[in-house]
Each structure stands twice: as structure tokens, then as C-alpha cells.
Amino acid sequence: MKLELRFFASLREALGVSQESITIPDSVKTIADLRAHLIERGNPWADVLAEDKVLRCALNQVMVDANTPLQEKAEIAFFPPVTGG
């Protein structure tokens, strides 16, 4: 499955990446699976996306939880809790 990844704010800076096209194996089915898959790349991914870090995730620009299934060609964004207003 092909996905478009986006990273924002402190995550973007720590990873040094704002956007990336990725092809994932069939075993990666949910947002949580994708996070684990990226952690397997080692640092800085493992550190920035570690389980104990509080992150938010959006699928096609709508906030979703970790159990949400991925969709072909979806835009998946990871970011810290928001601080606007």
C-alpha cells in the first residue's frame, strides 16, 4: 500500500522530514502498525515516535485514533498535541 506521510512542529524538526511517500508491507494495517513500522527504522524515528510519546494522528486531514485502518493513497500525518488559540 502506498501512503503519503506528513510531519509537523516538533516532530518535523526532530525527524528532519516534513513529507514522505512510502510503500508499506501488507502486514501494516492500522495507524498503530504504521507507527511501529516507522520505529523499526531506528533513530531518530524510534525515539521521536516511541510508545511513551503523546502524539496525534490524522488520516486524510481528520484526527483519528491508533486503531484506525489505513487506506490506499491516504495522507497520514503525525504531530504533537495542538497548541493554537
Partner 1 sequence: MPSPIRVQEKDFDISAEIALLRKGDPRVGAVVSFLGTVRDMNDGSQVKGMTLEHYPGMTEKALQEILDQAKIRWDIYQTLVIHRVGPLLPEDQIVLVVVTSAHRGEAFAACEFIMDYLKTAAPFWKKEDTPQGARWVDARVTDDVAMARWKKC
Footprint on this chain of partner 1 (rule: CB under 8 A)? 6, 8-10, 58, 61-63, 77, 79-85
∠ CA(74), CA(2), CA(39), 5° rounding? 90
Q: Smallest gap, in angstroms, from Cβ of residue 26 to partner 1?
A: 28
b or e along 34-69 (b: 16 or more beta carbons within 10 Å of the residue's beta carbon)?
A: bbebbbeeeeebeebbeeeeebebbbeeeebeeebe
Q: Smallest gap, in angstroms, from Cβ of residue 61 to partner 1?
A: 4
Whichever of 10 and 71 has its CB closer to partner 1, that residue is 10
Q: Smallest gap, in angstroms, from Cβ of residue 73 to partner 1?
A: 15
Whichever of 33 and 75 has its CB closer to partner 1, that residue is 75
